[in-house]
Amino acid sequence: MITLSGVRKSFNDVEVLKGIDTVFEPGKVNLIIGKSGSGKTVLIKCTVGLMKPTAGKILFEGADYVAMDTNEKKVIRRELGMLFQGNALFDSKTVEENVRFPLDMFTHMPLSEKRDRVNEVLKRVNLIDANHKLPSEISGGMQKRVGIARAIVMTPKYLFCDEPNSGLDPQTSIVIDELIKELTNEYNMTTIVNTHDMNTVIGSGDKILFLHQGEKHWEGDKKSLFETDNKELMDFIFASDFLKEARNAKLASFRNK
């Protein structure tokens, strides 16, 4: 479980995060949504430690990550997996070497065991026969799968995904969302996904945190999303007439049940 308490972040006197309080629970896909520039990426970067918050606490199982020294942070970081927006795969390494990298760097497993583990996670993300290809030789969807495989190869407790669907077609996006959801349940991970893909929000949002101008504007699950009357959230989620109609239809079906 990750608890955020009064997290603030400023850049040159411009406050990007204005005191965020929330809890990300294990075994759930926790979504951070909001318009571009609302502070989603800054929040995720503060949470993983790529940026230091100006104020506030980030607690991993009760331990304050911000106050930790470098060695203590390293222990937490070994339990983190992250899928980057642009995948962040190492260009000069093959798919297998990319996924094996954390094992090579942090474990003393024999090569055969590491290969077995790599093949296991690649199979889990439905990526077979791509071990010896370079990232530039595979499609965007396959690169995402490699990124996910690398993120879960050390069986992390926390999985962070920054815009996992960016640059993917709608069908592949759904497949990636489902994969993230399945893996979250399978490994009982605390998964935090930064997205503005409405399919993800409606399909995977066990918990949704809506940021607006650096503030927590709304928090709930995908069911309560349809019932809320928060204007900013409604304008953001159901931006088109088509989505507004879909919302009404879904709401009606909830009421009938």
Partner 1 sequence: MESLYQFGKYILMLKSLFVRPERKAMYWTETLRQMHQIGVDSMVIVFIISFFIGAVSAVQFAYNLSTTITPMYFVGYVVKESMILEFAPTVTSLILAGKVGSNVASELGTMRLTEQIDALEIMGVNTTAYLVGPKLAAAVTMIPLLVVFAAAIGIWGGMLAGAASGYVSTTEYIQGALSWFVPLNTYIMMIKAVVFSFLIVSISCFKGYYARGGALEIGKASTQAVVLSCITVLVSDYLIAWLML
Residues in contact with partner 1 by CB under 8 A are 48-50, 73-74, 77-78, 80, 82, 84-86, 88-91, 101-102, 104-106, 160
Tokens 């204005």 found at = 18
Q: What are phi and psi of 177, to 5 degrees?
A: -60, -45
Please state whether beta strands 158-162 and 80-83 pair in parallel, antiparallel, or not at all (unpaired): parallel
Q: How far apart are CA 63 and CA 88, in angstroms?
A: 28
Residue whose CB is less far from partner 1, 6 or 86? 86
Residue whose CB is less far from partner 1, 60 or 210? 60
Q: Residue 255 is encoded by which pair of tokens?
A: 């009421």
Q: What's the closest the beta carbon of residue 131 comes to partner 1, in angstroms?
A: 19
Q: What's the closest the beta carbon of residue 40 comes to partner 1, in angstroms?
A: 15
CA 240 to chain CA centroid, nearest Å: 25
Q: What are phi and psi of 71, to 5 degrees?
A: -70, -40
Q: What's the closest the beta carbon of residue 231 comes to partner 1, in angstroms?
A: 34
Residue whose CB is less far from partner 1, 111 or 249? 111
Cβ-based burial of 257 (10 A; exposed 0-12, middle 13-18, buried ≥19): exposed
Angle at 218 between CA 48 and CA 244, to 5 degrees: 115
Q: How far apart are CA 91 and CA 40, in angstroms?
A: 27
**DSSP reduced 3-state for 133:** coil
Q: What's the closest the beta carbon of residue 241 comes to partner 1, in angstroms?
A: 36
Residue whose CB is less far from partner 1, 67 or 251? 67
Residue whose CB is less far from partner 1, 8 or 78? 78
Identify the DSSP state of 188. Answer: T
Q: What's the closest the beta carbon of residue 234 comes to partner 1, in angstroms?
A: 33
Q: What's the closest the beta carbon of residue 247 comes to partner 1, in angstroms?
A: 35
Residue whose CB is less far from partner 1, 48 or 201? 48
Q: How far apart are CA 66 and CA 59, in angstroms?
A: 8
